[in-house]
Amino acid sequence: MTLFEALDLGLAAIVLGVAAWTVAVREVFSAVIGYVAYGLLLAIVWVRLYAPDVALTEAAIGGGVTGVLLLTASARLSRLPAPDAAPSAGLKIAAAALAFLVAGALAAAVVYLPDPAPSLAAAADENLAATGLGNAVTAVLIAYRSFDTMLEKVVLVLAVVGVWSVAPDRVWGGAPAALGPATPDAALVFLARMLAPIGLVIGVQIFWVGADEPGGAFQGGAILAAMWMIVMMARLTEPPRIGSGWLRLGLIAGPAIFLLIGLAGPFMAGSFLAFPAGFAKPLILFIEAFMVLSIAVTLPLLVAGSPSREAGE
């Protein structure tokens, strides 16, 4: 067994152990903290799968932003009474049997995957030069499967609309509740002041290098979003009113620019969402820049949740 194989086995054991602890631990708060740690460990597994782009996304969104979302939710729900009914032993045994069955079937499927594996890597590599990009994953996201990526941005906007619309009528147009405590820890305020400017630069850098190296609009946008959230958690700024025109413009800028350039495709390059030869890279970076903006606005709004204060407050 080589060193890397041993490390892989150790990593696998730790990830599964932390996941099991996360779902088994009694307090919801501990479970959420466990989930954040587990998200970061999962990112290392992705690195071992030669997927640095996915690792960055998993660490930033899967671990970080989802962690803040669940943490905020557990704090807001902590005053509620615990549910009365614990599951019966019979249900537990049946659930365990089902879980073993499904996990076993999946593991078998992994072992018996077709050999040689089907792959689109050759096709992706062949046309990479035409997009002017160096990172094949970014090329798949913004060029080859751009329709998917555009619709995904629309899904994010729909999620924000969904989150806002569960609010009672009287607070419509108001602001979500503050993310942090009334008097935040001095260390948190210091961290927000120190980290936010640095994170801003790193977020933009990760977006910019994403054209050729691991990184991209999602990962960069998620880091910018995290910076806005940490500033809100330190109460240096408050969540914005959802009625704000600028906020809504930032929210839809990404999908709107994407759609406009897509609609210009038939005139410039012959089909919807096609990029004219030679101009692909600047157009892709232009779209991505607005996507970064929209992601950086959308994720904190999803975490902040429904408005709970009236517009005048």
Partner 1 sequence: MSPSIIAGFVGAGLVGIGLYALIVNPEPLRKLLAFNVIGNGVFLVFGIVSRRGAIAGFPFDPVPQAMVITGIVVAFAASALAVALMLRLAEEAGRVTLEADKSTKPDEGARSP
Name which of residues 36 to 75 contact partner 1 (CB under 8 A): 38, 42, 45-46, 48-51, 53-54, 57-58, 61-62, 65-66, 69-70, 72-74
Within residues 250-289, the interface with partner 1 by CB under 8 A covers: none
The residue among 102 and 277 lying less far from partner 1, judged by its C-beta, is 102
Per-position DSSP letters for 106-147, written without gaps between them? HHHHHHT--SSPP--HHHHHHTHHHHT-S-HHHHIIIIITHH
The residue among 5 and 183 lying less far from partner 1, judged by its C-beta, is 5
The 10 Å Cβ neighbour count of residue 301 is 22
The residue among 91 and 194 lying less far from partner 1, judged by its C-beta, is 91
Angle between helices 245-268 and 280-304 (to 10 degrees): 150
Residues listed for the chain: 313
The Cα 54–Cα 156 span in angstroms is 19
The Cα 156–Cα 294 span in angstroms is 9
Point out which span in 106-114, 179-187, 228-236, 248-256 binds partner 1 (CB under 8 A): 106-114
| Residue 122 lies near partner 1 (rule: CB under 8 A) | yes
Which of 23-51 are b and which e, b meaning 16 or more Cβ less than 10 Å from the residue's Cβ? eeeeebeebbbbbbbbbbbbbbbbbeeeb
Query: Is residue 67 within a helix (H) or strand (E), and if so which, with residue range?
Result: helix 66-77
- Out of 3, 77, 186, 187, name the contact with partner 1 by CB under 8 A: 77
Point out which span in 15-23, 181-189, 250-258, 270-278 binds partner 1 (CB under 8 A): 15-23
| Residue 154 lies near partner 1 (rule: CB under 8 A) | no
Site string for partner 1, 155-174 (x = CB under 8 A): xx-xx--xx--xx-------
Compute the least distance from the CB of residue 81 to partner 1, in Å. Answer: 6
Within residues 180-239, the interface with partner 1 by CB under 8 A covers: 216, 218
The residue among 138 and 196 lying less far from partner 1, judged by its C-beta, is 138
Check if the beta carbon of residue 241 is closer than 8 Å to that of residue 109. no
